């Protein structure tokens, strides 16, 4: 017995007059109850959510007794929620059981009792002198630390280092961190909270073992400790499976979006604010024309923001004409960030440009939100996995700051000799001797002012970031470019929904759900919500 119900703001279950969920099969034994049911992706039913490629928060609950005439039984503790990407295309899973692997893990790192810590540890890749391909990467998160470890980045470091850099780890972005850490600029893998292992497509692998490949890598672990818990010791990291059977292409990673800095900022009290990071036409033109005029092929994307993030889109333009979104998540969940496999590989050519578009909500904040490393700060980044590998590691932008200052009424600034960043305000009087951050926080932000500010920042000139490996730069790096004139907001493709009566007409996409419940106390199949 299975029916389609929905719930209201009072958490009361109501039978849906339009029955869109259809039981396909059910089975049960002494330990498991299994239900398989299907539904159209778009049902035209106001009581249903459309199912898209965005994150879906699946809520489940059950009771060990069947629903009686009095209605549903309260589920008690038999409930939960999980963020999933239901339409993420299935990857071709190649068994890694027989493959060799190596682990890159922290060793008894004392996590400070503070909000945010970035810990860096240098490693030497154990596979040397012969080319291999990494085919799968799995996170190794210490049990109980699933919410502590927010993300892990793996960087390629200078090939001129020696084993002396391997002795110890250190807090990243710290004035006293080792100079060797500064040589590690090229991201070769990224994992974020909620994500699972990543398997490369069968024709692509992460190359290791040759002179052009990473010999020394830096693992950066972001610890998020908002409760300031003391005495935490962590041993998390990554496991890399590899094979001597060489694949056709070497994989690369491009970090795109907004360069993380205070120049990226969001006013308080805004139900929606949009930031854009530009992988500019100028950067892609220079790098691709020199390295790969036929273009590169993107096969997966990781979209990354922090707590204020609500939606992220990766917009793609070819010769000024907008293409289908490269990747998107209109239901962004800070606690669930993983690589999206593209249904079809996307070619990026000279003449293209990419925009990482991030939507934020700061309605619960009374001060500015700044671009920065803490989860209470913000980011707007996309990590593109692609092949064949070229010498382009970062394609990003920074918005111009002077017009941001002019917006709040700043007239004069000066740069004191001992001031580290980046200036002090001279006039007008209400901002005199204040820093940029203090002045922006002092400004009386209203929603209308926030909207006007948003319109301004989206049109500001941007400083181009266009980086190579080993801290080298393409010539366009540091140049100023104007953002392209584009349609805002992005026009989503119209949804074609289908009524329940058309379920088996074969014209509309249908999703099959399978639920496994492990519970020896379950009798006959009860109501599932």
Structure tokens at 171: 């807090």
For the ranges 7-21, 261-275, 452-466, 512-526, the lowest mean pLDDT is seen at 512-526
Confidence bin at 510 (pLDDT 50/70/90): low
**Contact, 132 vs 244, CB < 8 A?**
yes
Q: Which residue has the higher pLDDT, 186 or 66?
A: 186
Q: pLDDT at residue 32 above 90?
A: no
Condensed to tens digits (0 to 9), the pLDDT of residues 479-495 reads 999 999 998 888 877 77
Position 335 scores a pLDDT of 79
Condensed to tens digits (0 to 9), the pLDDT of residues 360-405 reads 999 999 999 999 988 899 999 999 999 999 999 999 999 999 999 9
Position 72 scores a pLDDT of 72
CATH T-level assignment (fold) for domain 251-399+465-494: Jelly Rolls (2.60.120)
Q: Are strands 232-234 and 13-15 parallel, antiparallel or unpaired?
A: unpaired
Position 76 scores a pLDDT of 78
**Whole-number Cα distances in Å, 279 to 44, 154, 311, 324, 350:** 37, 21, 19, 16, 12
Position 509 scores a pLDDT of 63
| Spatial CB neighbours of 315, under 8 Å, sequence gap ≥ 6 | 322, 325, 326, 354, 355, 356, 357, 486, 490
**Contact, 113 vs 230, CB < 8 A?**
yes
Condensed to tens digits (0 to 9), the pLDDT of residues 419-448 reads 556 789 999 999 999 999 999 999 999 999
Condensed to tens digits (0 to 9), the pLDDT of residues 173-220 reads 888 888 888 888 888 898 888 888 899 999 999 999 998 899 999 999
**Residues involved in catalysis:** 118, 304
| Spatial CB neighbours of 473, under 8 Å, sequence gap ≥ 6 | 466, 467
Query: What does the domain layout of the chain look like in residue ranges?
Result: 5-87+507-518, 251-399+465-494, 401-459
Q: Where are the beta strands (DSSP E) in 29-100?
A: 32-40, 56-61, 79-84
Q: pLDDT at residue 100 above 50?
A: yes
Condensed to tens digits (0 to 9), the pLDDT of residues 131-143 reads 999 999 999 999 9
Q: pLDDT at residue 472 above 60?
A: yes
Position 416 scores a pLDDT of 72
């Amino acid at each position: 017995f299975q029916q389609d119900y929905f719930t209201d703001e009072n958490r009361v279950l109501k039978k849906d007059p339009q029955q869109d969920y259809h039981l396909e099969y059910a089975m049960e034994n002494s330990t498991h109850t299994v239900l398989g049911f299907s539904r159209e992706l778009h049902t035209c039913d106001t009581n249903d959510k459309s199912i898209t490629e965005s994150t879906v928060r699946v809520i489940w609950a059950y009771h060990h007794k069947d629903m009686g005439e009095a209605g549903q039984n309260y589920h008690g503790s038999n409930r939960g929620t999980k963020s999933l990407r239901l339409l993420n295309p299935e990857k071709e899973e190649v068994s890694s059981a027989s493959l060799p692997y190596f682990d890159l893990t922290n060793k008894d790192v004392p996590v400070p009792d503070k909000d945010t810590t970035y810990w860096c540890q240098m490693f030497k890749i154990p596979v040397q002198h012969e080319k291999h391909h990494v085919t799968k990467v799995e996170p190794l998160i210490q049990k109980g630390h699933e919410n502590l470890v927010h993300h892990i980045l793996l960087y390629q470091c200078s090939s001129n280092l020696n084993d002396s850099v391997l002795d110890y780890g250190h807090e990243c972005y710290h004035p006293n961190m080792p100079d060797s850490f500064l040589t590690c600029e090229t991201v070769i893998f990224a994992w974020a909270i909620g994500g699972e292992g990543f398997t490369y497509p069968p024709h692509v692998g992460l190359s290791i073992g040759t002179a052009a490949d990473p010999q020394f890598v830096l693992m950066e672990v972001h610890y998020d400790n908002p409760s300031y818990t003391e005495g935490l010791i962590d041993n998390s990291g990554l496991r890399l499976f590899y094979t001597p059977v060489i694949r056709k292409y070497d994989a690369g990673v491009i970090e795109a979006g907004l360069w993380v800095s205070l120049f990226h900022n969001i006013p308080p009290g805004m139900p929606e604010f949009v930031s854009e990071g530009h992988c500019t036409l100028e950067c892609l033109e220079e790098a691709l024309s020199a390295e790969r005029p036929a273009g590169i092929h993107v096969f997966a994307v990781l979209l990354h923001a922090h707590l204020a993030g609500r939606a992220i889109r990766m917009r793609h333009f070819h010769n000024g004409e907008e293409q289908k979104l490269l990747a998107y998540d209109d239901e962004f969940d800070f606690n669930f960030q993983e690589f999206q496999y593209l249904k079809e590989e996307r070619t990026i050519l000279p003449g293209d440009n990419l925009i990482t578009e991030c939507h934020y909500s700061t309605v619960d904040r009374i001060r500015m939100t700044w671009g920065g490393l803490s989860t209470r700060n913000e980011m707007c980044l996309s990590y593109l996995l692609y092949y064949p590998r070229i010498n382009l590691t970062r394609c990003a932008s920074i918005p111009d700051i002077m017009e941001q200052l002019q917006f709040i009424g700043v007239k004069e600034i000066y740069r004191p000799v001992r001031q580290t960043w980046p200036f002090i305000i001279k006039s007008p009087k209400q901002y005199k001797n204040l820093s940029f951050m203090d002045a922006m926080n002092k400004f009386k932000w209203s929603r209308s002012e926030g909207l006007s500010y948003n319109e301004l920042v989206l049109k500001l000139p941007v400083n181009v970031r266009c980086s190579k490996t080993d801290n080298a730069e393409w010539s366009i790096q540091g140049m100023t470019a104007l953002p392209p004139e584009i349609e805002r907001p992005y026009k989503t493709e119209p949804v074609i929904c289908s009524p329940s009566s058309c379920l088996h007409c074969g014209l509309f996409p249908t999703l099959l759900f399978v639920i496994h419940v492990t519970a020896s106390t379950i009798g006959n199949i009860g109501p599932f919500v």
